[in-house]
Amino acid sequence: MDYKEALDYLHSLYRFGSRLGLERVTRLLELAGRPQDQVRAVHIAGTNGKGSVTSMVASILQAAGYRTGMYISPYLERFTERAGIGNEEIPKDTVARLVGQLIPLIERMVAEGHEHPTEFEVVTAMAFLYFAQEKTDLVALEVGLGGRFDATNTVNSLVSVITNISFDHMERLGNTLPQIAYEKAGIIKERGVVVTGATGAALDVIAGVAREKGAQITIVGRDVTWEEVSSAHTGQVINVRTQRREYLGLELSLLGRHQQANAATAVAAVECLALAGYQVSPRAIFAGLKAAAWPGRLEIMRRDPLVILDGAHNADGARVLALALRDVIPHQRLFLVLGLLGDKCSRDILAELVPLATEVVVTRPLSPRALPPERLAEEVAVLGCPAVVEEDIGRAVDVALSRAGRADAVCVAGSLYLVGHARSHLKRGR
């Protein structure tokens, strides 16, 4: 099996949909020799910010000298982004070898009468095999969806992180913040360690689960605090205070004031690793945060005109993006390229972003779940903003660029299935 055949096989598993539950992946991992038991993980869940925190934690641990793996979902431009060690993505031939190793195990479990595992479950099993075989010291492991019944929750993590709780995937996780928080809190382990940036009723639920499981909880905003020193489109500087020490003048390359809370969360998480014997020096924290990168999230791709990419795919993400845009481009005209999936609260997202735009170019993300752009254009028009429909993502970006003057700004936002393709298009244009 070569890499293309492996990807074709994985993509064929989309027909099984996305189904929460641990029975299928647990059996597959048992047949594979339980590689997840060899993975020492910081397990990261949350509605927004979990990818950024995953990247920050991985960068800090790498700066500390640990052989560090990272697992994310979804990828932005290449499948091999899903798993990596250090600065290297999983090699294509390793993907082919591991998928080839898993296929007969999948066939065996199906023959035993088990349901066929989903694409995400197979990819997660592949990642655990990869990290185990490569003998990683630590892995920053991002939850795919929810937490309690997510395939990644088969790992016995050293630290569990829950960034924040807001409304997303309500059809799977519940219609109230406490219900969603309960699903996310499912990653907390018995007598484990949890760090959370949640607030209000969601925090009450997470703290309650931690008490029930005898887990130690660190609350960002109470036990760990931060203050802004400076914030600009070139980077940010913050001070962070934990129960152990003070970090003055931490530099963040990631843009947006929301990343300040994410950085404080990452610092708290790596400090907690000391309880398991993994020491991380202040020097590694400073170096790791400065080096951390998270493509497609408030990422400046060009200047003159300014081009920003951001995967704001729910209302809370759109609210954060809107605040950041007001900081970065307070006086410029903004041309918005937007595409969403059909299962998102499009009206709430548009209400945050459209009032900032001079014009919106509506397009279709590369997903069968994409919201038809004509429907999205109608919703934009209701808000009183001109809308142009361009089905092709590359052409949609080009239309926005053709409208924008050198002093203006273009923001490509919405589904990561849109942002990733737009990012590739812009890089080719260079």
Edge-to-edge strand order for the sheet containing 299-302?
299-302, 306-310, 409-414, 334-339, 359-362, 387-389
Reduced to 3 states (helix: H, G, I; strand: E, B; else coil), residue 344 is: coil
The reported pLDDT for the residue numbered 48 is 87
Question: d(Cα 286, Cα 9) in Å, to the nearest integer?
Answer: 42
Q: What are phi and psi of 27, to 5 degrees?
A: -65, -40
DSSP 21: -
Interval 286-306: pLDDT, tens: 999 999 999 999 999 998 899
How does the average pLDDT of the chain come out, rounded?
95
The reported pLDDT for the residue numbered 169 is 62
The reported pLDDT for the residue numbered 430 is 58
Interval 194-209: pLDDT, tens: 999 999 999 999 999 9
Share of the chain above pLDDT 90, in %: 87
Sign of the CA dihedral running 388, 390, 396, 399 = negative
Interval 88-117: pLDDT, tens: 999 999 999 999 999 999 999 999 999 999
Determine contact, residues 224/267, Cβ cutoff 8 Å.
yes
Which two tokens mark 311?
Answer: 């995967």
